């Protein structure tokens, strides 16, 4: 198919003219130059090129400094032939008319050169260079047909004797490999040898300072078991070593049976198994405290803490010998503070009343006289009693305040007895719709209350800074002060509230 023609009838350059001949480029169309543009952008008159000999050079001399001529060897190799003015590109024809047609060189065979025929399709020919096989090289024989398993076993392509020998060889090789592997495994890894016993390794335990394990390790050696045994009595309690001289603080009801039965002996058993006979130093039945002493060298002493610094919710540990199980540690918290506890005295003795710390740490019979320690391992209470309906621990345990127990024990060690502050009145618990307190039943003549003007039927509601809601709270509130100290006492009398100053005396 012929190409479209130009408007003047001249074919476009570089296209087929129908006879598979290559056409020469068409003449250039050079429009005339605008005189205004030539005056602005053209060369000055008389200047033929970009470099003029009459134009001053940059270095101040006249003329243009040209580069030296190239060496003759380079001119011969790369220069134009002498006597010719041909350029790299043939100048276009400026003459009007039909351009010259260059004859083709493939002699009318456009399919012979796909690159010269724009209309020819892409053809992939044979490689430009082919290698001819050497004459001496012999052709390789084609491989024979391969045998499948059914043909090998059932096609009778292999002799039965050869097949049997092949199977025997495979069996021998497999057996030998298994035996060698077993021997290497047994000899090379002693951990799998049946004659080796591996030691069991337990994971490491961390017991940081302040943990229950750390506190128990430090405190337990200072808590002892107290055994009393006589003709008619026997039992086990607990005690705490409070001084290096062998003084042990415990409950009065732990040593009371040994006092009542002269045949009974008190034996102290330490955590390392040492045993020692104890002697009673002093007793205070009103607060259920007692001190005994043993002859022992270098005992572990438990230091007192400040029980007034305790708060509800603080962690505490109870240590003792519940149910004759020595060195028992139970954990709990402070459930309540300043809980007045009363109990009947031993064999008709005076009523027991003390200001208690309530805890839910498990306390059972045998814990009496043992230690209640805080999170630092300091002694803050002496375990004394529980409240239960089953006979066992139900989370209502009571310990005597550590500060009060220290004051009583120091007095017992020093004097063998202790005196308590008292108002010299008998009271009972009373409550009304608007208030509650301790109602005075009778006033001892010549006592502290009589001197202050307290009368029968008065209801005491406060002693010092402590509220009084019942008779037990009045007792512990008064004993919290010293003998001879004057304290304000708030009472209700015939609907009026009065405040009197009472100077406490000894009980």
Cα(372)–Cα(361) distance, integer angstroms:
9
Lowest mean pLDDT among 198-207, 409-418, 419-428: 198-207
Secondary structure class of 188 (helix, strand, coil): helix
How does the average pLDDT of the chain come out, rounded? 80
In a domain, 103, yes or no: yes
The CA-based diameter of the chain, rounded to the nearest angstrom, is: 162
217: tokens are: 């390790």
Domain boundary among 390, 415, 440: 415
Q: Which residues are catalytically annotated?
A: 253, 288, 368
Does some domain include residue 364? yes
In a domain, 106, yes or no: yes
What confidence category does residue 36 fall into, taking pLDDT thresholds of 50, 70 and 90?
Answer: confident
- pLDDT > 70 in the chain, percent: 72
Per-residue confidence band for 476, with pLDDT thresholds at 50, 70 and 90: very high
What is the domain range of residue 437? 421-506
Q: What is the pLDDT of residues 139-166, one digit of tens each?
A: 676 766 676 767 666 666 677 777 788 8
CATH of the domain at 271: 2.40.10.120
385: its two tokens: 């009693």
Q: Verify that 466 and 379 share a domain, yes or no.
A: no
Q: Is the pLDDT of residue 301 over 90?
A: yes
Predicted local confidence at residue 6, as pLDDT: 45
pLDDT of residue 127: 62
pLDDT at 54 over 70: no
Put simply, whether the predicted model's pTM sits higher than 0.85 gets the answer no
Is the predicted pLDDT of residue 453 greater than 60, yes or no?
Answer: yes
DSSP letter for each residue of 420-453:
-EE--EEEEEEE-SS-EEEEEEEE-TTSHHHHHT
At 7 the pLDDT is 43
**Residue with the larger pLDDT of the pair 2 and 73:** 73
What is the pLDDT, as a whole number, of residue 147?
66
Q: DSSP string covering 55-107, please?
A: SBPTTS-BS--PPPPPPHHHHHHHSPPTT----SSPPPP-S-SPPPEEPPSST
pLDDT at residue 447 tops 80: yes
Domain end call among 352, 385, 415: 415
Is the per-residue pLDDT at 457 higher than 80?
yes
Same domain, 364 and 443: no
What is residue 396's predicted lDDT score, i.e. its pLDDT? Answer: 92
- Picking from 40-49, 56-65, 434-443, 471-480, which range would have the lowest pLDDT averaged per residue? 56-65
What is the pLDDT, as a whole number, of residue 12?
A: 46
Half-sphere exposure of 67 (CA within 13 A, CB side): 3
Take residue 406 and report the two structure tokens written for it: 């220290």
Residue 358 has pLDDT above 80, yes or no: yes
CA distance 298 to 239: 17
Q: Is residue 61 part of a domain?
A: no
Mean pLDDT of 384-406: 90
272/338 same-domain check: yes
Least confident of 48-52, 187-191, 254-258, 425-429: 187-191
CATH number, domain with residue 447: 2.30.42.10
Tell me whether residue 195 is in a domain: no
Please indicate whether residue 154 or residue 355 has the higher confidence score (pLDDT): 355
Comparing 31-35, 224-228, 322-326, 415-419, the range with the smallest average pLDDT is 31-35
Which whole number is the average pLDDT over 56-71?
Answer: 61
Last residue within a domain, chosen from 350, 382, 415: 415
The closest of 267, 255, 262 to 232, measured between CA atoms, is 262
């Amino acid at each position: 198919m012929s190409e479209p023609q130009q408007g003047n009838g001249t074919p476009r350059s570089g296209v087929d003219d129908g006879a598979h001949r290559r056409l020469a480029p068409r003449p250039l169309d050079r429009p005339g130059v605008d005189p205004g543009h030539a005056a602005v952008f053209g060369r000055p008159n008389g200047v033929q090129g970009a470099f003029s000999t009459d134009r001053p050079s940059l270095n101040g001399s006249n003329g243009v400094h040209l580069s030296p001529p190239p060496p003759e060897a380079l001119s011969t190799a790369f220069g134009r032939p002498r006597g010719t003015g041909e350029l790299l590109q043939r100048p276009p024809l400026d003459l009007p008319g039909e351009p010259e047609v260059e004859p083709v060189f493939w002699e009318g065979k456009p399919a012979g050169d796909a690159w010269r025929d724009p209309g020819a399709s892409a053809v992939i020919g044979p490689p430009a260079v082919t290698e001819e096989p050497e004459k001496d090289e012999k052709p390789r024989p084609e491989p024979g047909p391969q045998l499948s398993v059914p043909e090998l076993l059932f096609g009778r392509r292999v002799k039965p004797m050869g097949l049997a020998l092949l199977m025997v060889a495979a069996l021998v090789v497999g057996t030998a490999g298994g035996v060698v592997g077993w021997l290497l495994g047994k000899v090379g890894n002693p951990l799998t040898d049946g004659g080796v016993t591996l030691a069991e390794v337990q994971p490491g335990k961390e017991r940081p300072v302040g943990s229950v394990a750390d506190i128990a390790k430090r405190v337990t050696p200072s808590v002892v078991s107290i055994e009393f045994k006589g003709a008619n009595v026997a039992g086990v309690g607990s005690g705490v070593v409070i001084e290096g001289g062998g003084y042990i603080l415990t409950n009065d009801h732990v040593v009371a049976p040994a006092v009542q039965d002269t045949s009974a002996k008190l034996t102290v058993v330490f955590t390392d198994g040492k045993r020692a006979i104890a002697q009673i130093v002093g007793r205070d039945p009103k607060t259920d405290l007692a001190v005994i002493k043993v002859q022992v060298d270098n005992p572990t002493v438990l230091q007192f803490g400040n029980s007034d610094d305790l708060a509800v919710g603080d962690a505490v540990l109870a240590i003792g010998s519940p149910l004759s199980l020595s060195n028992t540690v139970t954990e709990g918290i402070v459930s309540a503070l300043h809980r007045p506890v009363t109990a009947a005295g031993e064999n008709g003795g005076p009523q027991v009343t003390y200001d208690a710390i309530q805890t839910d740490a498990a306390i059972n019979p045998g814990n009496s006289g043992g230690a209640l320690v805080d999170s630092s391992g300091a002694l803050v209470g002496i375990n004394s009693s529980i409240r239960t309906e089953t006979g066992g621990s139900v989370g209502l345990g009571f310990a005597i305040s550590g500060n009060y127990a220290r004051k009583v024990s120091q007095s017992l060690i020093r004097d063998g007895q202790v005196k308590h502050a008292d108002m010299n009145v008998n009271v009972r618990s009373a409550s009304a719709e608007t208030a509650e307190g301790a109602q005075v039943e009778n006033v001892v003549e010549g006592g502290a209350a009589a001197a202050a003007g307290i009368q029968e039927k008065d209801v005491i509601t406060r002693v010092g800074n402590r509220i009084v809601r019942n008779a037990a709270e009045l007792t512990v509130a008064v004993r919290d002060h010293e003998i001879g100290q004057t304290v304000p006492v708030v009472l209700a009398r015939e609907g009026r509230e009065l405040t009197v100053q009472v100077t406490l005396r000894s009980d």
